[in-house]
Amino acid sequence: MSIRTFSVWRGDKNGGRFVEYQVEVEEGMVVLDAIHQIQRTQAHDLACRWNCKAAKCGSCSAEVNGRPRLMCKTRLDALPVGEMVRIQPLQTFPIIRDLVTDVSWNYQVNKKIPPFAPRPDASWVMLQQDVNRAQEFRKCIECFLCQNVCHVLREHERKSEFFGPRFFVRIASLQMHPMDSLDRLPLLKNEAGLGLCNITKCCTEVCPEDIHITDNAIIPLKERVVDRYYDPIQILLRKIKGEKASHAGGK
């Protein structure tokens, strides 16, 4: 057992500071264990969210040594030995207190996405290969690390015109569902602000569920938007084939 120093941001929307704590570290410990120990023994009121402690609920998101991580999944032995461990809240969302931020914006965005609407003639016969893509997207645990790291939200603060990677993944899961009947491409192009994404892939880098957010969700959606709005040949083909095919690339 050894002692390590943790520097944890304490404060609220009016400001705060990093406070150092010494924690007894045992083998296999994760950052969240250390936070719990601090809570139990040194700072009863240290605010942090957590639930499952198994990387399945996505509650304990924070920035550990500047990197957006789930605290329950970040092993101490994977961090540089002998250095202080610095923990701060997600930077993209308003601070509530200590490591807790106000992520309610995400829930508002989710409400704007038209939900699953099965085709009236849906047979519900789907092969595994038909659902693999949607299943990958549905692994999302809504930790909002991708939203936090995305520079469109983090640096450019475009919350009013950009849904963020989490919700592109959600839209992709609906759009590629074999039984869904809705067309969400106009939403993607306009309100969701897909064009603001410049595919710099930080969302994919931080995803604790290893969802290939950029390659499997965002880029395929961008290509569908191209089909609909930018590709002259596709547009012409649709004109020739008539109105019915106008949903190509969407539904």
Partner 1 sequence: MAQTGSVLERNGLGVTARRDAWWLQPLLVFLGLTAFGVYAMWAAWQGNNYLYQAHGAYYLSPFYSPDLHVLFGIQLPFSFAFLILWIPLGFRATCYYYRKAYYRSYFLDPPACAVGEPKGRCYRGERAFPFILQNFHRYFFYLATLLLLSLWYDAVRSFFFRDPAGQLHFGVGVGSLVLLFNVLTLSAFTLGCNSLRHLVGGRLDCFSCSAAARTRHKLWSGVSLLNLKHAPWAWISLFAVGFADLYVRLCAMGVWHDVRIF
Partner 2 sequence: MNEKYETHEHDVIVIGAGGAGLRAAIECSALGAKTALICKSLLGKAHTVMAEGGVAAALAHVDAQDSWRTHFQDTLFGGKYLNNWRMAELHAREAPERVRELERWGAVFDRTPDGKILQRAFGGHTYRRLAHVGDRTGLELIRTLQDKGVHQGIDVFMECTITKLLKDGERVCGAFGYWRETGRFVVYKAKAVVLATGGIGKCYKITSNSWESTGDGHALGYEAGAELVDMEFVQFHPTGMVWPPGVMGLLVTEAVRGEGGILRNNQGERFMEKYDPKRMDLSTRDVVARAIYTEVKEGRGSPHGGCFLDISHRKAPYIRQKLPSMYHQFKELADVDITKEPMEVGPTSHYTMGGIKVDADTGASTVPGLYAAGECTGGVNGANRLGGNSLSDLLVFGRRAGAGAAEYANRAAPPRIDQTQVENAAGEMIGFFDRPGAADPYKLHVDLQNTMQNLAGIFREEKDLTMAVARLEDLQRRAAHVGVVEGQRMYNPGWHLCRDLHNMLICSQAIVRAALLRKESRGAHSRLDFPKYDEYWGEHNIVIKKEPDGMKVQARPVVKVAELIPLVDEKKAKETK
Residues lying near partner 1 in the complex (CB under 8 A) are found at 7, 9, 11, 15-20, 63, 65-68, 80, 83, 86, 88-89, 91, 95, 126-127, 129-130, 149, 151-152, 154-156, 158, 175-178, 180, 193, 195-202, 205-206, 214-215, 219-220, 222-227, 229-231, 248-249, 251
Structure tokens of 159? 């919350």
* Strand pairing category for 100-101 and 95-97: antiparallel
Nearer to partner 1, 16 or 53 (CB): 16
Nearer to partner 1, 27 or 210 (CB): 210
Least distance from partner 1 to the Cβ atom of residue 104, Å: 18
225, 197 in Cβ contact below 8 A?
no
Which entry of partner 1, partner 2, none binds 9, CB below 5 to 8 A by partner kind? partner 1
Which entry of partner 2, partner 1, none binds 247, CB below 5 to 8 A by partner kind? none
User: Is 247 one of the binding residues for partner 2 (CB under 8 A)?
Assistant: no
The helix/strand/coil state of 15 is: strand
User: What does each C-alpha distance from 33 to 17, 21, 42, 151 come to in angstroms?
Assistant: 21, 13, 13, 30
Which entry of partner 1, partner 2, none binds 239, CB below 5 to 8 A by partner kind? none
The helix/strand/coil state of 24 is: strand
Nearer to partner 2, 34 or 228 (CB): 34
Q: Give dist(CA 154, CA 66) in Å, integer.
A: 13
Closest CA relative to residue 106, chosen from 126, 122, 127, 90: 90
User: Is 240 one of the binding residues for partner 2 (CB under 8 A)?
Assistant: no
Interacting positions 89-118 with partner 2 (CB under 8 A): 96-98, 100, 102-104, 107, 110-111, 115-116, 118
User: What does each C-alpha distance from 24 to 17, 28, 251 come to in angstroms?
Assistant: 22, 12, 56
User: Is 52 one of the binding residues for partner 2 (CB under 8 A)?
Assistant: yes
47, 36 in Cβ contact below 8 A?
no
